[in-house]
Structure 1
Amino acid sequence: MALNFWSHLLPQAFAVLCAVASPLHQVQGNAFQINQLNQQKGCDFSLGRWIHDHASYPLYDATRDCPFIVQGFDCLKNGRPDKEYLKYRWKPSGCDLPRFDGVKFLERYKGKKIVFIGDSISDNMWQSLTCLLHIAVPKSNYTLRRPTKYLHVFSFPEYEASILWLKDGYLVDVIRHKEQGRILRLDSITSGNMWRGDVLIFNTYHWWVREGTSQTHFQVGNEIIKDMDPLEAYKIGLTTWSKWIDSNIDPSKTTVLFQGIAAAHSEGKSCLGQTQPEQGAKPPYPGVDIVRSVLSNMKTPVYLLDITLPSQLRIDGHPSVYTGRGTSFEDCSHWCRAGVPDTWNEILYAALLGN
């Protein structure tokens, strides 16, 4: 299955962002500078702990409130017997995440297009956001379309707002070769013409390091390399993406975010039967340093949604065998709805609208 996600922050004066709730693209500065600013203020959303909040969580009932959520993420409907995993809130060290206000979100982004671009972990977050917005305006009509095999469009006609998921797991070009199989062209992007919206939320990582990567070939220029370290390939590919963003995105018109590395628990002890978050510090997660390094060298402001530690601690948040595909299939990479991705969207809300 899939594997992981990340950390980093935006422009100068995040305090101003929080105070006036101005859109991210109106603020300027390097993401690392802002991350340091937030740490000084005690408001680094990436660090904290999970606490019980039975009064406020879960934020919705997936089966009752969100009939469009796919079967594999609706763990209760698929027979998961415990419910405590639904009742945890992420508490950043030194501050609180602002409460998600779906009406305010839709009013702010009226007439706008928000696009998730990435793999199935992007799908997790996209489905969570569509649900959070739908329950905020339950009487407002919505449409859900799939105009192509890879594009899903959720729209609120009343607000002329659309939330899209474009499946593009590697971001760089993929070639299917008869004899050599899958080839990733690490220095080539031709799908960028599809990356259009007012807010772009990118994600890539899981497919680079998942089981079966050893059968993937990598190409740089005219050279095809079979035995490249997947993380080295990831760094080259992510750098190619960053250069594309810097060359093609106008930050005065488009806000760019990167969905950080969401930790999978596919190795070590199984996620089956896990009912509580883990506590304490965690070791550095593979790939996170690459993401930070690449983003810090970009000229375009990119807000890193740092969700690595929050997801590392939630071994209980995966569907496990409750995917609707039978007990022989265990998913310790994706996430139950309601659940952990709702917190990712609370961080997204804080980044886009402030306190």
Structure 2
Amino acid sequence: MKSPSSSPSSSSSLPRKRRLPHFVFTVLAFVLLASMIYGHDFVSLSRKTHQNPILDELGTRSKAEEPPPKSPEIPFAVGKALGECEYFKGRWVKDESTRPLYRESECPYIQPQLTCRAHGRPDSDYQSWRWQPDSCSLPSFNATMMLESLRGKRMMFVGDSLNRGMYNSLICLLHSNIPEHAKSMETHGSLTVFSIKEYNASMEFYWAPFLLESNADNAAVHRISDRIVRKGSINKHGKHWRGADIVVFNTYLWWMTGFKMKILESGSFEDENKRIREMETEDAYRMAMKSIVKWVKKNMDPSMTRVFFTTMSPTHYKSEDWGGGRGQNCYNQTTPIQDQAHWPSDCSKSVMRVIGEVLGRRKDFPITVLNITQLSGYRKDAHTSTYKKQWSPLTKEQLANPVSYADCIHWCLPGLQDTWNELLFAKLFYP
């Protein structure tokens, strides 16, 4: 048997010369003639095919150097914040030339629990403070721009009475730009609707202090000390939020019972045999935040909808927090706290961390956090205090000691919550 090396195909002899077919010579001759006649065009074609680095620097970029695709546009955004502006870090400055943004007496939509001047507050300086971020200025609130953006849309505030105050504030900021015949307000149970007929729009408030279902869901009768929240129950309320184009959530104060939070796992709130589990406040709050995120992802479109979450609204019941006398609170306070390092003692930093962990930097559905906690913590002067409609007659003992019944939770309008809406305006249009 012959070895493979001895086969003819592997012979070491010189290869035979093969004669090229006649048509190949014809083609080569044609190409040579064309290059002589159209040489310039061949050079141009070569330059287009093999990019010159100098041309790339002048703006003719190769495919590999094309910029990455643009990120999806943010709904309602018209521009970006200048530089690295941190809207929530700054100070309060007195500004009587631009404050207040409206008059209490000219806005009929403020709840009587927030009309401080009408209920005898003697000073008005609390209306004259403007929030000034350290690194920039807030965009000026533009009512016309806001109304045009709401044309044909629904905007909804969901949460507790503090969110309702923010809702009332925004209506006051807008209502003078709406003809009298083209606006109305109606309340049906947990839902209040401010209709803007000329714009085919609505601004709504939905009472849900825990966001999840709870035994405090009655919008009128909800003063319950033994608070219970049903686990995984967001859909009871959530069905009323579907279809909204802008949603502003808040929840915090109702969770702060001073005890572990009671979670209903089975049965009804009225059922004697209901199954209840107690959870640390931080864990229960995290459960609610995760429920909100899950609901938003399932029911809202990030290309069409904007979702906001307002952080903790501080109270001012302990004057020792700002160097005041023992046993005093927000009563008779008329100036803000000037110490920029001040943090309100009643605002849990662990809960603040939960908000950051669950809502911060989400890419699947971004939820914009309005961090109003510290800037509001400076405003010990801005609460309704004793200047509000009282839920029940005051006793002689209370009247003799106003500190005992001062409301250091809610805020006078106009006032601090107008700034919350300026921040909302800034993050909505200039994220």
1:341 paired residue number: 417
1:112 paired residue number: 153
Question: Which stretches in structure 1 are left out of the alignment for 5+ residues?
Answer: 1-11, 28-36
Check conservation: 1:115, 1:201, Cα contact below 8 A.
yes
1:315 is aligned to 2:315: no
SS at match of 2:145: helix
Provide the C-alpha distance between the structure 2 equivalents of 1:261 and 1:181, rounded to a whole number of angstroms.
21
Check conservation: 1:182, 1:215, Cα contact below 8 A.
no
2:59 paired residue number: none
Check conservation: 2:113, 2:388, Cα contact below 8 A.
yes
| Residues 80, 175 of structure 1: alpha-carbon distance in 2 compared, 3 angstrom cutoff | closer
SS at match of 2:405: coil
Which residue among 388, 397, 408 is the counterpart of 1:332? 408
1:264 paired residue number: 315
Range 312-321 or range 132-141, more displaced: 132-141
Higher RCO (CA 8 Å, separation ≥ 6 residues): 1
Range 135-144 or range 213-222, more displaced: 213-222
1:239 is aligned to 2:298: no
Offset, 1:330:
1.5
Offset, 1:135:
2.3
Offset, 1:306:
1.1
Check conservation: 1:119, 1:203, Cα contact below 8 A.
yes
1:30 paired residue number: none
Provide the C-alpha distance between the structure 2 equivalents of 1:293 and 1:215, rounded to a whole number of angstroms.
21
TM-score, length of structure 2 as denominator length: 0.69
CA-based RMSD of the aligned residues comes to 2.8
Which residue among 204, 218, 224 is the counterpart of 2:276? 224
Provide the C-alpha distance between the structure 1 equivalents of 2:113 and 2:84, rounded to a whole number of angstroms.
37
Check conservation: 2:311, 2:372, Cα contact below 8 A.
yes
Which residue among 143, 154, 179 is the counterpart of 2:194? 154
Provide the C-alpha distance between the structure 2 equivalents of 1:140 and 1:251, rounded to a whole number of angstroms.
34
1:192 is aligned to 2:238: yes
The letter of the residue matching 1:322 is Y
Offset, 1:139:
5.1
Count of matched residue positions in the alignment of Structure 1 and Structure 2: 320
Provide the C-alpha distance between the structure 2 equivalents of 1:56 and 1:126, rounded to a whole number of angstroms.
21
2:359 paired residue number: 295
Check conservation: 1:181, 1:215, Cα contact below 8 A.
no
1:50 is aligned to 2:101: no
Offset, 1:217:
1.8
Offset, 1:233:
1.4
The letter of the residue matching 1:310 is L
TM-score, length of structure 1 as denominator length: 0.82
Provide the C-alpha distance between the structure 1 equivalents of 2:230 and 2:130, rounded to a whole number of angstroms.
40
How do 1:1-355 residues align onto structure 2 when only pairs under 5 Å count? 23-24=76-77, 41-63=83-105, 65-137=106-178, 141-146=182-187, 148-175=188-215, 182-190=227-235, 191-196=237-242, 197-210=244-257, 214=259, 217-219=262-264, 224-226=276-278, 228-268=279-319, 269-279=328-338, 280-283=340-343, 285-286=347-348, 287-296=351-360, 298=362, 299-325=364-390, 327=402, 329-354=405-430
| Residues 41, 282 of structure 1: alpha-carbon distance in 2 compared, 3 angstrom cutoff | farther
The letter of the residue matching 2:169 is S
SS at match of 1:71: coil
Amino-acid identity (%): 35
Asked which structure has the greater CA Rg, the reply is 2
SS at match of 2:130: strand
Deviations 1:27-56 (A, max 9, x none): 9xxxxxxxxx97x93411110000010100
Offset, 1:155:
1.3
The letter of the residue matching 1:321 is T
Provide the C-alpha distance between the structure 2 equivalents of 1:80 and 1:98, rounded to a whole number of angstroms.
30
| Residues 52, 138 of structure 1: alpha-carbon distance in 2 compared, 3 angstrom cutoff | farther
Check conservation: 2:343, 2:377, Cα contact below 8 A.
no
Check conservation: 1:50, 1:90, Cα contact below 8 A.
yes
